[in-house]
Amino acid sequence: MVRPQPMRAAAPQPVQRGGTSGLAITSLVLSITGCLSIGGVICGHLARRQIRRDPSIGGNGLALAGLIIGYLGLLVTVGFISLGAYGFMKGREMAKQWEEEFKAAQERGDFGTNMMDEAGSELPDDPVGGMIVGVPFDYYRAKINPTAGTLSIEEGEEVVADQSVTLFLFPKPGEGLTNRTWKITSSSPMAGRPHVHLRWLKEDDSKGSTALTSGYTLDLTTGDLTNGFIPGKITLKAGGKFPVELSGEFNAKVE
């Protein structure tokens, strides 16, 4: 009698892969670019759903990596946007505060005593102004050289000023230039009279210059040396071919 043979189970057949999901690859690529993180997140979710429905499709790891990187990118983007919005609001708030403080300072009349000239000195309340040979003069800085005995009051940012008046004061040996007074009139003797050197801008923007040894009046006073500066006040007038009319205060940097 022939015994029936037991049936053997068929060996499992390997699942045929359908290739890597294009959505998974797209998710990773978009997420890595940073600026397209939202697209990477969307493609990552679509890829994982596609893979769950069809296990033959690979790329689950790529989709997962795309999701992680994409969400991190979104988090960083949101953080930057929030920080930028906060900075913008704070900037507007500070600008408004500065504008209010500026207007309040204008109303109090604070400007003039707190402003600084080019040399770093406090700008005088009544800085030197006037005319040199018919050209308006605006105070920019003043310099004093005790060794050479000179005082220069200048307009212009250049090393050689556009316009200036330089006084050669000829101090006697042992005399300083602080706490001094010079009063020169038409009747003052020539001996020891300061020389006045002028520079001004002509109509064609070239520079004119001359030196006055007479024909002018001068009232000049200087104060104490303080923090490298000597304050003073000047009134200078001249007529004739080279008219000058300057008056006001200065803070001369000692050189």
Asked whether residue 164 falls in the same domain as residue 205, the answer is yes
Kindly report, residue by residue over 194-232, the tens digit of the pLDDT: 999 999 998 888 889 999 999 999 999 999 999 999 999
Indicate whether 6 belongs to any domain.
Answer: no
Asked whether residue 75 falls in the same domain as residue 153, the answer is no
Q: Report percent pLDDT > 90 for the chain.
A: 38
DSSP 189: -
Asked whether residue 249 falls in the same domain as residue 136, the answer is yes
The reported pLDDT for the residue numbered 4 is 59
Indicate whether 122 belongs to any domain.
Answer: no
Query: What are the DSSP E strand ranges found in the chain?
Result: 129-132, 135-138, 141-145, 150-155, 163-168, 181-184, 195-201, 207-212, 216-222, 229-238, 244-254
Cα gap 163→146, rounded to integer Å: 22
Instruction: Check residues 56 and 184 and name the one with the higher pLDDT.
Output: 184
Kindly report, residue by residue over 103-151, the tens digit of the pLDDT: 666 565 554 444 444 445 568 889 999 999 999 999 999 999 999 999 9
Q: What is the number of structural domains in the chain? A: 2
The reported pLDDT for the residue numbered 188 is 87
What number is the average pLDDT over the span 53-62? 81
Q: Which of 218, 210, 232 is nearest to 143 (CA)?
A: 232
Indicate whether 119 belongs to any domain.
Answer: no
Indicate whether 175 belongs to any domain.
Answer: yes
Tokens 């006040």 belong to which residue? 233
Indicate whether 8 belongs to any domain.
Answer: no
Indicate whether 184 belongs to any domain.
Answer: yes
Q: Rounded to two decimals, what is the model's pTM?
A: 0.54
Kindly report, residue by residue over 20-42, the tens digit of the pLDDT: 877 878 877 877 876 677 877 88
Q: Which domain holds residue 39?
A: 22-105
Kindly report, residue by residue over 180-193, the tens digit of the pLDDT: 999 999 888 888 89
Cα gap 203→59, rounded to integer Å: 80
Indicate whether 196 belongs to any domain.
Answer: yes
Asked whether residue 144 falls in the same domain as residue 96, the answer is no
Asked whether residue 66 falls in the same domain as residue 144, the answer is no
Asked whether residue 101 falls in the same domain as residue 150, the answer is no
Residue 95 pLDDT greater than 60, yes or no: yes
Asked whether residue 222 falls in the same domain as residue 140, the answer is yes
Instruction: Check residues 108 and 50 and name the one with the higher pLDDT.
Output: 50
Instruction: Check residues 161 and 109 and name the one with the higher pLDDT.
Output: 161
Residue 16 pLDDT greater than 80, yes or no: no
**Structure tokens given for 13:** 């057949």
The reported pLDDT for the residue numbered 182 is 95
Domain boundary residue among 105, 139, 170? 105
Q: Report percent pLDDT > 70 for the chain.
A: 84
Asked whether residue 154 falls in the same domain as residue 250, the answer is yes
Indicate whether 3 belongs to any domain.
Answer: no
DSSP 253: E
Mean pLDDT of the chain: 82
CA 191 to centroid of chain Cα atoms = 50
